[in-house]
Amino acid sequence: MLEDYKRDMYWCSACEGCRLGSFEALDDPICPTGERFLFESYYAEGRMVNARCLMDGKLEWSERLIDRYFTCLRCGACAEICYKEMGRHLLKVIEEVEKELVRRGIGPHPKQRYENYEKFFKNYRERQEEAVKKMSEVEAMYFLGCDLSCYNKHITEATIKILESAGEKFATSPRAWCCGYPIIYTGQMEQAKDIVTSNVDAIESLGIEKIISSCPHCTRIFKYDYPEILGSELGFKILHTSEYLSEMIKDGALKPKTPVMEKVTYHDPCLLGRQGGKVYDQPREILRSIPGINLVEMNRRTGNA
């Protein structure tokens, strides 16, 4: 609830660190929506002020708030800086305002409404139960999710090839399984809980002990949002592909051999780094293990990417 973060709203000192970042990113704008719309209410600082006014009854809950909150990309750059320096939970405040807007029937943005996804999620549990009947119990599952099933299939194909070449035994989630990210990150929690419970029931019924995902969104949602939504820890472990492959390389189960004579850099995804358990080292360890790779770092990296 929004009231749980009252301290975070009232302690905002309007320092504007959520605009400019830390020393590594000084004077380099870090808020995408603030820079896009150039109004105070699109920056984290303005969103905190509005949230405080909503809670104090000085501002009405209205459709005028939709663009101010649901345009937030949840990149977490503002929260990374503010929590490090002031201990404030900026994203949590934004999330709670969004949830309340949905509860009041005001939000989310028309393009984000559940009705747009209703066809995809229709009879979701029933379809999932049918899919499970055709699957065998196995220790690990490679969870594809929507993005890798529909748009970035080359990542899926490459990952499966690597896992199979290392002799790993795993199941692959069917194409129509979704972690629920589009619903969860737009505050539509009533519908999201049905998707979450269906996914967890299906995974646990197969005796899965590890979920491997190449998608930062799925990884983040499973690791942190699922336990919060369900009110309990999950009975299986969540690993991003980079975490899993890094462990395999350290254990000697996977040994990159083909030289790649390239100078490369690595961009840290928001939902894998800042919000996904600070997964910074493992991707770099994998790159350094490939013969011939010359890894160079950008000025803005890890928490400041």
Percent of the chain at pLDDT exceeding 90: 59
At residue 166, the pLDDT reads 87
Domain holding 74, by residue range, is 2-112
Residue 303 counted as domain residue: no
The pTM is what?
0.90
Q: Which of 98-102, 170-174, 240-244 has the lowest mean pLDDT?
A: 170-174
**Which of 237, 254, 271 is the C-terminal boundary of a domain?**
254
288 confidence band (pLDDT: 50, 70, 90) = very high
Residue 69 counted as domain residue: yes
Same domain, 192 and 167: yes
Same domain, 14 and 98: yes
Structure tokens at 6: 């009252």
**Which of 84, 112, 140 is the C-terminal boundary of a domain?**
112
Number of H helices, E strands in the chain: 17, 6
Same domain, 189 and 234: yes
DSSP H or E run through 171: strand 171-172
Same domain, 106 and 128: no
Residue 275 counted as domain residue: no
Residue 54 counted as domain residue: yes
Percent of the chain at pLDDT exceeding 70: 97
Residue 42 counted as domain residue: yes
CA distances from 64 to 38, 106, 205, 290 (A): 16, 10, 45, 51
Q: Which residue type is seen at 235?
A: G
Number of domains in the chain: 2
Same domain, 239 and 142: yes
Per-residue pLDDT for 97 more than 60?
yes
Place of tokens 């009879």: 123
CA distances from 165 to 6, 159, 239 (A): 52, 10, 19
Residue 286 counted as domain residue: no
Burial class (CB in 10 A: 0-12, 13-18, 19+), 257: exposed
Q: How much is the average pLDDT of 259-265?
A: 96
Q: Which of 13-22, 96-105, 234-243 has the lowest mean pLDDT?
A: 13-22
Same domain, 132 and 232: yes
Residue 300 counted as domain residue: no
Q: Rounded distance, CA 236 to CA 135, Å? A: 18
Kindly report the backbone phi and psi dihedral angles of residue 218, in degrees, each rounded to the nearest multiple of 5, phi listed first.
Answer: -60, -45
Same domain, 91 and 165: no
Beta-bridge partners for 172: 142
At residue 267, the pLDDT reads 94
Same domain, 144 and 168: yes
64 confidence band (pLDDT: 50, 70, 90) = very high
The CA-CA-CA angle for residues 25, 29, 31, to 5°, reads 115
Q: Rounded distance, CA 214 to CA 56, Å? A: 42
Structure tokens at 147: 């993005």
Same domain, 59 and 156: no
Average pLDDT, the chain: 89
At residue 58, the pLDDT reads 94
The C-alpha R_g of the chain, in whole angstroms, comes to: 21
Residue 209 counted as domain residue: yes
Contact 69, 101 (CB under 8 A): yes
Same domain, 80 and 129: no
Please say whether the dihedral angle defined by the alpha carbons of residues 112, 116, 122 and 124, taken in this order, is positive or negative: negative
